[in-house]
Amino acid sequence: MADLEKFRAETASWLDANAPQSIRGLNLSDLEGSWGGRKAIYSIPDMKVWLDIMAERGWTSPTWPVEYGGGGLSKEEAKVLREEMNRLRLPPPLIGFGLTMIGPTLLQFGNEEQKKQHLTAICRGEIRWCQGYSEPGAGSDLASLQMKAVRDGDDFILNGQKVWTSYADLSDWIFCLVRTNPDVKKQAGITFILVDMETPGVSVVPTRLISGKSPFCETYFDDVRCPVANVVHKIDAGWTVAKALLSHERSMVAGVFGGGRARAKGKRSRLVELADRYVGMREGRIADPVVRDQMAQSEMDTRSFSLTVQRSADAAKAGHQPGAESSFFKVYGTEVNMRRHELMVRIMGERALGWEGPGFEDDELELTRDWLRSRGNSLEGGSNEIQLNIIAKHVLGLPD
Ligand SMILES: Cc1cc2nc3c(=O)[nH]c(=O)nc-3n(C[C@H](O)[C@H](O)[C@H](O)COP(=O)(O)OP(=O)(O)OC[C@H]3O[C@@H](n4cnc5c(N)ncnc54)[C@H](O)[C@@H]3O)c2cc1C
């Protein structure tokens, strides 16, 4: 404990001395550049300074081993670091699929060269990753994927199409599931491979969403030559790697809703701010008792979920890898988030029906789009119906 308190004091003073003043209190939504990568644009230049300072210390990925660019911290020390960053209202220096998905997967399944090449670049925010899993005929039934990889000497030749590839247009590398053997049980002929998006034959077409934004792409592979050395784990054994990565993804999706930054003491929640503005207060309470009741339920659900995620994170200290239970977090976390957005829209009434132009405040228009974006939460990372099937089979042990 004494060591941890010493670490806390040193961390607090180091952060205070090194974190640029201009980034304190920034929201994640302000942080375009913080996904890193070759195409990153830092609209707030000090975010790049912050990234470099933290990467130098290994604190973009505090618990990863030092030899791969991490901080080598214990889970307890990493928690202290998070707490001290929250206290100073410091945003994360780097976010993205490198840190949350492919990085942890490479630590588990990658060979030494792959770890050295990719993990260090991820920690420094040099390379941005995207996920090439879904195909037009393979979403929930992912193992039906058809993108072909045919061996040619030391390379594979890739042909096929991926869909819903989030941020493919801004990414540098993609981790893909490809079919290397069509003649065996479908799960047994899949390989997990890493592809540089600059390789000739890779092309990307953005897809526009209901929210007006376009984070998705279709990604095409036409005779793309990719070294066999880029296979993670073994040829035809990609399904094992794919499932491990999905567990990390589901934990990440759940963590976004359950493990977010603690609200500063005394700061009102977004729900209360909205209710105050659109419903009004009477005798120090939200005027409408039905809305008040729904808000109390939402706050309790959010808080309980956050504590459960925290409990699971503490259990992970013993080295526990996320398994089928990450499906539970994914279902519940996304449902709580979607219900919360619906409640915000209900509180705002007709003010939540704007799309563009005058007549609505910017934050009102943004909330409408955020609400529409939240509809995708139950699908991304594997749909909630599929998660319920996984829970039934692998957690509860129910028959197929
Ligand atoms: C915001 C967002 C980001 C995404 N990002 C990526 C990405 O970066 N990379 C990537 O590869 N993919 C990505 N996806 C795709 C996502 O993984 C798929 O949308 C998801 O796996 C569902 O597949 P599908 O869309 O083909 O739906 P389908 O599989 O066609 O399912 C349609 C509906 O049928 C239900 N259903 C299907 N099978 C069953 C069953 N057996 N039992 C009960 N219900 C069933 C589903 O639950 C769903 O409601 C993203 C999706 C979203 C929404």
Q: Half-sphere exposure of 40 toward its Cβ, with a 13 Å CA cutoff? A: 23
Instruction: Please report, for residues 14, 181, 190, 299, the alpha-carbon distance to residue 187 in angstroms, rounded to integers and kept in the order given.
Output: 49, 10, 6, 41
Residue 54: band (very low, low, confident or very high) from pLDDT cuts 50, 70, 90: very high
What is the predicted pLDDT for the residue at 315? 72
* pLDDT per residue as tens digits for the range 148-200: 999 999 999 999 999 999 999 999 999 999 999 999 999 999 999 999 999 99
What is the predicted pLDDT for the residue at 319? 62
Q: How far is the C-alpha of 299 from the C-alpha of 129, rounded, in Å?
A: 34
Q: Which residue's CA is the closest to the ligand 1 atom numbered 18?
A: 139
Query: Which tokens hold the place of 163?
Result: 């869909």
Residue 37 reports pLDDT greater than 80: yes
What is the predicted pLDDT for the residue at 378? 92
- Cβ-contact 262, 86 below 8 angstroms: yes
Contacts of 245 (CB under 8 A, 6+ apart): 101, 102, 104, 105, 175, 192
Q: How far is the C-alpha of 300 from the C-alpha of 289, rounded, in Å?
A: 16
Q: Is 129 in the pocket of ligand 1 (CB under 6 A)?
A: no
Q: If you measure from the C-alpha of residue 155 to the centroid of ligand 1, how many angstroms do you get, rounded to a whole number?
A: 31
Residue 249: band (very low, low, confident or very high) from pLDDT cuts 50, 70, 90: confident
The amino acid present at 160, given as its one-letter code, is G
Q: Any long-range contacts for 299-304 (C-beta under 8 Å, 24+ apart)?
A: 299/269, 299/271, 301/336, 301/339, 302/257, 302/258, 302/336, 302/340
Q: What are the φ and ψ backbone dihedral angles of 285, each rounded to 5 degrees?
A: -125, 160
- Cβ-contact 73, 120 below 8 angstroms: no
What is the predicted pLDDT for the residue at 149? 98
Residue 261: band (very low, low, confident or very high) from pLDDT cuts 50, 70, 90: very low
Q: What are the φ and ψ backbone dihedral angles of 137, each rounded to 5 degrees?
A: -110, 15
- Cβ-contact 128, 36 below 8 angstroms: yes
**What is the rounded average pLDDT of the residues 332-352?**
95
What is the predicted pLDDT for the residue at 259? 52
Average pLDDT of the chain is 91
Q: How far is the C-alpha of 232 from the C-alpha of 241, rounded, in Å?
A: 8
What is the predicted pLDDT for the residue at 191? 98
What is the predicted pLDDT for the residue at 327? 87
Least confident range from 76-85, 86-95, 243-252: namely 243-252
Residue 311: band (very low, low, confident or very high) from pLDDT cuts 50, 70, 90: confident
Q: Is 164 in the pocket of ligand 1 (CB under 6 A)?
A: yes
Query: What residues are paired with 177 via a beta bridge?
Result: 192
Among residues 1, 2, 50, the alpha carbon closest in space to that of 22 is found at 50
Residue 29: band (very low, low, confident or very high) from pLDDT cuts 50, 70, 90: low
Query: Which residue is listed with tokens 């410091």?
Result: 90
Residue 312: band (very low, low, confident or very high) from pLDDT cuts 50, 70, 90: confident
Q: Which residue's CA is the closest to the ligand 1 atom numbered 3?
A: 380
- Cβ-contact 12, 82 below 8 angstroms: no
Query: Which tokens hold the place of 170?
Result: 């801004």
- Cβ-contact 137, 87 below 8 angstroms: no
Residue 260: band (very low, low, confident or very high) from pLDDT cuts 50, 70, 90: very low
Residue 267 reports pLDDT greater than 80: no
Q: If you measure from the C-alpha of residue 38 to the centroid of ligand 1, how many angstroms do you get, rounded to a whole number?
A: 29
Q: Is 379 in the pocket of ligand 1 (CB under 6 A)?
A: yes
Q: How far is the C-alpha of 386 from the C-alpha of 400, rounded, in Å?
A: 13
Query: Which tokens hold the place of 250?
Result: 């589901």
Q: If you measure from the C-alpha of residue 83 to the centroid of ligand 1, how many angstroms do you get, rounded to a whole number?
A: 35
Q: How far is the C-alpha of 87 from the C-alpha of 72, rounded, in Å?
A: 22
**What is the rounded average pLDDT of the residues 112-139?**
97
Q: Is 96 in the pocket of ligand 1 (CB under 6 A)?
A: no
Q: How far is the C-alpha of 127 from the C-alpha of 122, rounded, in Å?
A: 6
User: Could you tell me which residue, 319 or 395, shows the higher pLDDT?
Assistant: 395
Q: If you measure from the C-alpha of residue 222 to the centroid of ligand 1, how many angstroms do you get, rounded to a whole number?
A: 24
Q: Which residue's CA is the closest to the ligand 1 atom numbered 30?
A: 139
What pTM value is reported for the model? 0.89
Q: Which residue's CA is the closest to the ligand 1 atom numbered 48?
A: 383
Query: Which tokens hold the place of 211?
Result: 């929210």
What is the predicted pLDDT for the residue at 256? 66
Find the length of the chain: 400
What is the predicted pLDDT for the residue at 263? 52
- Cβ-contact 157, 230 below 8 angstroms: no
Q: Which residue's CA is the closest to the ligand 1 atom numbered 37?
A: 140
Residue 208 reports pLDDT greater than 90: no
Report the catalytic residues: 249
Q: Strands 129-132, 173-179: parallel, antiparallel or unpaired by DSSP?
A: parallel
Q: Is 206 in the pocket of ligand 1 (CB under 6 A)?
A: no
User: Could you tell me which residue, 323 or 121, shows the higher pLDDT?
Assistant: 121
User: Could you tell me which residue, 33 or 111, shows the higher pLDDT?
Assistant: 111
Residue 16 reports pLDDT greater than 80: yes
